[in-house]
């Protein structure tokens, strides 16, 4: 007999990205509190949150300063909009703060409520840019297969997830996809560097096919997150930079996961030495404590879309919501004043990556990879042939369930297990994460033997 709570959830709650029928049958975990890098189920079971929620709780759970910032702002001014010749102090101060941390050529921020609607904003702003530039044929976006840019119509179309495109007849017109730099699964006999070049050159081929005069922008994550922490070979980004320099198209870097310290730099544009025209942000911006996102805009784009007589008829009721903005500002202050991003670069990410590599020796691991505070392992039955544990990526689901049993939140992206822990995780907590991951791999291997 299901508890009253479980029955209520089944009866009334339609959950995102879930097999709701299966949830109804098997029941659902009720997460009721969190502290530091740990979350707790209602029944008291404790988990090390290796995913920082959904790649977002950068400063960890339970920071009272954020609660106070929210409470103070709610008391003073819980809401006001940015549409009608008005702003609020948190929105303006946050824009200035982000501009001070962003690459030097990017000085304006447009606020949204999430990463998805930030990418919708990009979609409209880029097309608006080319119209204002007198090049209205430049309307096509080039993205990559297996990219994730969000769930709204434009963002899911920009993304390259087949299982999302199947629902709702996506992608919409004007969006095409090129190869991803996923060497483990698609590299064949090529070396990493050879494959990185080849994947990058699929962008140039597509620009030539569509016609430079029709291409508006290229959008990409610095490393694909939801696609399975696809870390590009060293040759990939330099070749993409060469191509972007050659053709007159805009470059949108989706830093919804990578922004605000995850690579050990404030932005991954610095980590990979990239010069985007717009950067998509969300998640770590507020460490997920309240929903907020945005687009950081280069001077080149701003000069056009904010030029004389250039109204941008776009915005959200909750663009730059003052309470979310106040919380984001405090979150960034904490990341800065506690030296968390520097700590990630000098100490914590090298330690995480070094220990993560130990998993590569496990018999069911085909590859262990990562950078900064993200990492992945490829689950295989046979290391040499890369044969998977089971058809239809079932091995990932089994492994994720064992991981939860073992008190560790890892995410399965098909046959890839990924982590993206809070940036404040300690070395002792990383040790715990690795031990739990090893036990999880042992359990999964036993299941398939």
Q: How far is the CB of 17 from ligand PLP (least distance, A)?
A: 10
Residue 109 contacts ligand PLP per CB under 6 A: no
DSSP secondary structure, 161-209, as one string: -HHHHTTTT-SPTTEEEE----HHHH-TTS-HHHHHHHHHHHHHHHHHH
Out of 49, 120, 179, 254, the residue judged to bind ligand PLP by CB under 6 A: 254
Q: How far is the CB of 112 from ligand PLP (least distance, A)?
A: 9
Query: With respect to ligand PLP, which residue has the nearer C-beta, 160 or 293?
Result: 293
Residues 282 to 301 in contact with ligand PLP, rule: CB under 6 A = 282, 293
Q: How far is the CB of 404 from ligand PLP (least distance, A)?
A: 20
Query: With respect to ligand PLP, which residue has the nearer C-beta, 199 or 219?
Result: 219
Radius of gyration of the chain from its Cα atoms, rounded to whole angstroms: 22
Residue 37: DSSP 8-state: T
Q: Taking Cα atoms as reference points, which of 222, 287, 260 lies closest to residue 53?
A: 287
3-class secondary structure, 24: helix
Q: How far is the CB of 143 from ligand PLP (least distance, A)?
A: 11
Residue 120 contacts ligand PLP per CB under 6 A: no
8 Å CB contact between 160 and 145: yes
Query: With respect to ligand PLP, which residue has the nearer C-beta, 51 or 197?
Result: 51
Residue 280 CB contacts under 8 Å (≥ 6 apart), including other chains:
115, 118, 119, 122, 149, 252, 253, 254, 255, 256, 293, 294, 295
Residue 31 CB contacts under 8 Å (≥ 6 apart), including other chains:
39, 40, 41, 42
Q: Taking Cα atoms as reference points, which of 415, 367, 375 lies closest to residue 52?
A: 375
Q: How far is the CB of 282 from ligand PLP (least distance, A)?
A: 4
Query: With respect to ligand PLP, which residue has the nearer C-beta, 197 or 327?
Result: 327
Residue 114 CB contacts under 8 Å (≥ 6 apart), including other chains:
150, 282, 291, 292, 293
CA distance 89 to 242: 41
Out of 50, 60, 103, 115, the residue judged to bind ligand PLP by CB under 6 A: 115
Query: With respect to ligand PLP, which residue has the nearer C-beta, 55 or 195?
Result: 55
8 Å CB contact between 111 and 325: yes
Residue 148 contacts ligand PLP per CB under 6 A: yes
Residue least distant from ligand PLP (Cβ): 115
Residue 150 contacts ligand PLP per CB under 6 A: yes
Residue 116 contacts ligand PLP per CB under 6 A: yes
Residues 202 to 231 in contact with ligand PLP, rule: CB under 6 A = 221, 225-226
Residue 93 CB contacts under 8 Å (≥ 6 apart), including other chains:
325, 329
Out of 9, 88, 114, 121, the residue judged to bind ligand PLP by CB under 6 A: 114
**Residues 49-88: x where in contact with ligand PLP by CB under 6 A, - otherwise, as a string:** -----x----------------------------------
Query: With respect to ligand PLP, which residue has the nearer C-beta, 154 or 398?
Result: 154
Query: Which region, judged by CB under 6 A, interacts with ligand PLP, from 142-150, 183-191, 353-361, 407-415?
Result: 142-150
Q: How far is the CB of 113 from ligand PLP (least distance, A)?
A: 8
Q: How far is the CB of 212 from ligand PLP (least distance, A)?
A: 26
Out of 128, 144, 145, 149, the residue judged to bind ligand PLP by CB under 6 A: 149
Q: Burial of 64 by CB count in 10 Å (0-12 exposed, 13-18 middle, 19+ buried)?
A: exposed
- Name the token pair of 234: 């060293």
Q: How far is the CB of 351 from ligand PLP (least distance, A)?
A: 24
Q: Taking Cα atoms as reference points, which of 313, 308, 304 lies closest to residue 277?
A: 304
CA distance 323 to 51: 25
Cβ neighbour number for residue 428 with a 10 Å cutoff? 8
Query: Which region, judged by CB under 6 A, interacts with ligand PLP, from 189-197, 212-220, 249-257, 342-350?
Result: 249-257
> Do the bridges between strand 416-419 and strand 411-413 make them parallel or antiparallel, or are there none, so unpaired?
antiparallel
Query: With respect to ligand PLP, which residue has the nearer C-beta, 143 or 444?
Result: 143
Q: Burial of 80 by CB count in 10 Å (0-12 exposed, 13-18 middle, 19+ buried)?
A: middle
Out of 70, 250, 257, 274, the residue judged to bind ligand PLP by CB under 6 A: 257
Query: With respect to ligand PLP, which residue has the nearer C-beta, 148 or 266?
Result: 148
For the chain, the maximum distance between any two Cα atoms, rounded to a whole number of angstroms, is: 68
Residues 29 to 48 in contact with ligand PLP, rule: CB under 6 A = none
Terminal-to-terminal C-alpha distance of the chain: 33
Q: How far is the CB of 246 from ligand PLP (least distance, A)?
A: 26
Interface residues toward ligand PLP, by CB under 6 A = 54, 114-116, 119, 148-150, 221, 225-226, 254, 256-257, 282, 293
């Amino acid at each position: 007999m299901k508890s009253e709570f479980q029955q209520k959830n089944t009866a009334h709650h339609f959950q995102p990205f879930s097999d709701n029928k299966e949830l109804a049958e098997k029941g659902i975990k009720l997460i009721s509190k969190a502290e530091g890098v740990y979350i707790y189920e209602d029944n008291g079971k404790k988990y090390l949150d290796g995913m920082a929620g959904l790649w977002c709780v950068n400063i960890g759970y339970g920071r009272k300063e954020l609660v106070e910032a929210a409470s103070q702002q709610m008391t003073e001014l819980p809401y006001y909009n940015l549409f009608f010749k008005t702003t609020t102090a948190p929105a303006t101060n946050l824009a200035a703060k982000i501009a001070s941390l962003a690459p030097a050529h990017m000085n304006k921020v447009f606020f949204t409520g999430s990463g998805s609607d930030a990418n919708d904003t990009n979609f409209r702003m880029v097309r608006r840019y080319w119209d204002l530039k007198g090049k209205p044929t430049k309307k096509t976006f080039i993205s990559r297969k297996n990219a994730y840019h969000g769930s709204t119509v434009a963002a899911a179309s920009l993304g390259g997830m087949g299982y999302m495109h199947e629902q709702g007849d996506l992608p919409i017109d004007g969006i095409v996809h090129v190869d991803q730099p996923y060497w483990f699964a698609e590299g064949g006999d090529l070396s990493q560097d050879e494959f990185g070049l080849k994947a990058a050159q699929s962008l140039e081929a597509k620009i030539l096919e569509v016609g430079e005069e029709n291409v508006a922008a290229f959008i990409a994550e610095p490393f694909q997150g939801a696609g399975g922490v696809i870390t590009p070979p060293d040759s990939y980004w330099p070749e993409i930079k060469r191509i972007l320099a050659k053709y007159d198209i805009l470059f949108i870097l989706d830093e919804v996961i990578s922004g605000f310290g995850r690579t050990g730099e404030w932005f991954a544009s610095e980590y990979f030495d990239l010069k985007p025209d717009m950067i998509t942000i969300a998640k770590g911006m507020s460490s997920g404590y309240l929903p907020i996102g945005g687009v950081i805009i280069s001077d080149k784009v701003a000069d056009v879309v904010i030029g004389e007589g250039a109204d941008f008829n776009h915005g959200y009721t909750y663009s730059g919501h003052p309470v979310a903005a106040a919380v984001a500002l405090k979150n960034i202050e904490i990341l800065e004043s506690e030296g968390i991003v520097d700590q990630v670069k000098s100490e914590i990410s090298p330690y995480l990556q070094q220990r993560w590599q130990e998993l590569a020796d496990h018999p069911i691991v085909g590859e262990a990879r990562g950078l900064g505070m993200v990492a992945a392992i490829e689950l295989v039955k046979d290391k040499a042939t890369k044969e998977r544990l089971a058809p239809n990526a079932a091995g990932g689901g089994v492994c994720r369930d064992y991981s939860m049993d073992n008190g560790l939140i890892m995410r399965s992206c098909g046959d890839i297990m990924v982590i993206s822990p809070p940036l404040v995780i300690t070395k002792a907590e990383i040790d715990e994460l690795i031990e739990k991951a090893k036990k999880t791999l042992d359990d999964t291997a036993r299941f398939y033997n």
